Amino acid sequence: MASTNLSRFSEWGRKIICVGRNYADHARELQNPVPVAEPLLFLKPPSAYLRQGSPIRLPYYCRSLHHEVELGVVMGRGGSAIPQAGAMGYVGGYALCLDMTARDVQQRCKEKGHPWTLAKAFDCSCPVSEFIPKDRIPDPHRLTIWLKVNDQMKQEGHTSQMIFPIPYLINYISEIIRLEAGDLILTGTPAGVSAVQEHDELQAGIDDLVTMEFKVERH
């Protein structure tokens, strides 16, 4: 089997599987039902990745671009129908991620029953931190993830509040979509999402383990 060097972005910037409404307080703030039976999934393409140093660009068709800070799980090994019991053995590491969302577009998609592609999958819709090796995070369900806009705290949530924990997500997703080494799973956002404007500065972190910064610019 070919070895994978996940410290190189090219080795982990692959498909992105996102989980919606995985924190009850965030589902409620948008007046969405809290999922109880199964996770809500959607995809972002590899062109959605954005590294630090590049700005977040407002899509030209969007009037309300929201930040959603999320813990990202980077797969170290691939598999289909990965059992929950051994699922953490497939994890290679983590990244802090933003699920940038064209909220006004998403609302129209929901009303029309359309897919969320225009709201969630546009270029640069997934700003990411550096890769965080697995051994730096012994328990990914005991982390505080936070996000500030212009130095003002907007989101501060604890990963213990996930409705569906990581082993459940890996099992559920890999029953439907084969997970490959380098794939990224976005595990959902806590409450506090809000709209960003041109010139805003976003700073986000996982406890004091990692921080990242992105500016917002016009398209």
Contacting positions for Mg ion (CB under 5 A): 68, 99, 189
The residue sitting closest to Mg ion, measured at its beta carbon, is 99
What share of residues in the chain are helix, strand, coil (percent, to 5)?
Answer: 25, 35, 40
Q: What is the DSSP string of 62-77?
A: -S-EEP-EEEEEEESS
* Placement of tokens 């307080």 in the chain: 25
The distance of closest approach from Cβ of residue 70 to Mg ion in the complex, given in angstroms and rounded to an integer, is 6
Give the single-character DSSP code of 171: H
The tokens of 166 are what? 């990581």
Tell me whether residue 32 or residue 80 sits nearer to Mg ion (CB atom).
Answer: 32
Residue found under tokens 């700003």: 127
Give the helix/strand (H/E) hosting 93.
strand 91-98
The alpha carbons of the chain give a radius of gyration, in whole angstroms, of 16
Between residues 18 and 181, which has the closer beta carbon with respect to Mg ion?
18
Closest separation between CB of residue 22 and Mg ion, Å? 8
**Closest approach of Mg ion to the CB of residue 40, in Å:** 10
**Residue among 68 and 183 whose Cβ is closer to Mg ion:** 68
Residue 204, SS3?
A: strand
Q: How far is the CB of 135 from Mg ion (least distance, A)?
A: 27
In DSSP terms, which residues pair with 71 in a beta bridge?
Answer: 96
Q: How far is the CB of 20 from Mg ion (least distance, A)?
A: 6
Q: Confirm if 166 and 143 have CB atoms less than 8 A apart.
A: no
CA pair distance 157, 104, nearest whole angstrom: 24
Backbone phi, psi, residue 53, to 5°? 105, -20
Query: Residue 64 Cβ, how far from Mg ion at the closest point, in Å?
Result: 15
